Each structure stands twice: as C-alpha cells, then as structure tokens.
Structure 1
Amino acid sequence: MNEITRRFVVLFNEEEDFYECHEIFEWAWKQTDDPIDGPFYKALVQVATAQFKLKKGVLCGVRKLYQYAAPALDSLPDVVQGIDVARLREDFRRQVRSLPAKDYIAEGEYPQYRMQVIKIHWAET
C-alpha cells in the first residue's frame, strides 16, 4: 500500500473528510495506468463522494454513485493495497439498500433513519 492510500483511509474513516478523499484519489486515479489501481482509485472516489452526499442528505446522489461504483468494485480483487474490497462492496450495497425511499432528507439527518457512513477496513492477514 502506498502513502496516498494510507492518507485516504485516515481521511475517510477518522476525519470523514470525503471531499478531500475525492481530491487525493481523483489525482491518483488520473496519474496511473495500472489495471487494478486505476479502477480501485476511481471506485473509492465514487464511494467517498457517495458518503459526502449521504451526509448532505442527497440520497438520489448516493444511489447514482452506487450505480457507477458497483461495477468497478465488482471487477476488483477482494483485497487491493491491503484494503478489504469485498467488505467494502457488501457494506456499500447494504447501505444503499437501507436508504429510505426519498431523494432528499435534511443535511445531517441520516442517523435518524438508522443510517451511518461506511468505513474502510484493512484486510486481515
């Protein structure tokens, strides 16, 4: 795993700074031509952006980003750069299934619907 991925996970899990996650992995995604890392970075940009939309209450945006990210996540190995992609796939899928049948809710209101932002987990070694 590289330092960019390490920083992404800290921003995602601890700081929940999904905007900055998007910025650093979008840069990484555009810099690589690696057949695994490129789709990995792109998918995680989309997952981070979906979490940003969730916090803002834009549920239709979460669903749309899931449609973009799911095929990329499904194409990846179960572990990439030490990240448990298989768990991320399932957690994101579960999150989207649990969304209320609304396009929008008030910003920050998602916990009232028993929703939470997802976390990225390291693969067990």
Structure 2
Amino acid sequence: MTQHPTPYIEFLAHFNGSRDYFECHEVLEEYWKETDPGNRDSHWVGLIQIAVGMYHFRRQNLKGAERMIRKGTENLKCHRPVMTRLGLDESRLFSILAETEERIREEMPYRSVSLPIKDPDLLRSVQQWCSRNGYGWCIPSDLTDHELIHRHSRRDRSQVIQERKEALLRKKRN
C-alpha cells in the first residue's frame, strides 16, 4: 500500500467530490510550495493547472481553460511514471484530458470529469474523505452554485497581494 500525502487526497476529494477546483488549486499549491518550491516543472504544478483549467472551463473562460489544460497535460506527460505512483490510471487520465481540451476548443458546454483513480487504497481514502465532509462522489458540478463557480472573486486576497509586492521588491533589489 502506497502512502499518499494528505493534501493530494484532499485535492482528489475536491476534484472528484465537491468539484471545488479552486480549493484543489489552493490545497495542492500550498503543498507544492512546501515540498518542491520553485520547481515549475513539478507534477504537482501539472495537477494544479488541470484544476485551474477546469475552473476556467466551468466559468466559460475558454481561452484560459484551453491554455491551462494544455499546459497541465504537457507537464503531466513528462511525469507518466509519477502518475502511476500517484495511483492514477495514466492512459485514462490522458484520454480524459484530450477529450476535455477538444470540448473546450470546440466551444462545447462544460462537463465535469473525474480523475481516474486506479489504486484501490487511494480510492477508498478519497471516498472516505468525501463522505466525512459531506461530498458526493463523481457527481456533476452544480452549475447554480455561484459560490462554487465564482470562488476566486469571493476570497480575501490581501495575503496574496502582499506576497506579490514583497516578491516584486526582492526582484527590484536583485
């Protein structure tokens, strides 16, 4: 049995359960910054990009959705063995991502997809996380839930803005 990091389990629970792609991004970005900071080629970044792409697709930002899904797919293709170690069915994953990118390119309506979990222990862990938190499992997004759909515009961004200002100051000093 492979032990998977809790933030990854939470990411999968939000992706396949609550459909809160914004939270997927938040959870995994924090983990990535703690474990592999600055590595933009990390497989964690690829998974984050897929979640961001799905967030944009659901909000009908097709240009942003296509760009993020494409970048995330390219990243994850460089990490095929890692996808298997992470308990995903990599061939199904890339098939789902290709179909999603095609739907976006053809300007078809958003449709929820689920990341294909192959590892039965991981699947059980993610489903238990969903159950404990009151999430369904692989149920389509509720497109009437404006809190879910427009999550980025409903959060406190003061910390993000402060971090960006500090990064800009450091860059100017160097």
**How does the TM-score come out when normalised to structure 1?**
0.77
Deviations 1:53-101 (A, max 9, x none): 1110011111111232122111112413212233222211111112254
Residue 55 of structure 2 corresponds to 52
Local SS of the residue matching 2:42 = helix
Q: 1:79, 1:86 within 8 Å by CA — same for their partners in 2?
A: no
Pair 1:8 & 2:3 matched: no
Residue 151 of structure 2 corresponds to none
What amino acid is the match of 1:91? I
- Which of 89, 96, 103 pairs up with 2:101? 96
Residue 87 of structure 1 corresponds to 92
RMSD: 2.2
Pair 1:74 & 2:61 matched: no
Q: 2:57, 2:104 within 8 Å by CA — same for their partners in 1?
A: no
Structure with higher Rg: it is 2
- Which of 28, 32, 35 pairs up with 1:29? 32
Q: Displacement, 1:23?
A: 0.3
In structure 1, the gaps of 5 or more residues are 103-112
Aligned pairs, how many?
112
Local SS of the residue matching 2:53 = helix
What amino acid is the match of 2:22? Y
Local SS of the residue matching 1:116 = coil
Local SS of the residue matching 2:104 = coil
Cα distance in 2, alignment partners of residues 33 and 99 from structure 1: 31
Moved more, 53-62 or 86-95: 86-95
Residue 18 of structure 1 corresponds to 21
**How does the TM-score come out when normalised to structure 2?**
0.57
What amino acid is the match of 2:28? F
In structure 2, the gaps of 5 or more residues are 121-174
Cα distance in 2, alignment partners of residues 40 and 85 from structure 1: 13
Cα distance in 2, alignment partners of residues 49 and 85 from structure 1: 19
Cα distance in 2, alignment partners of residues 88 and 118 from structure 1: 10
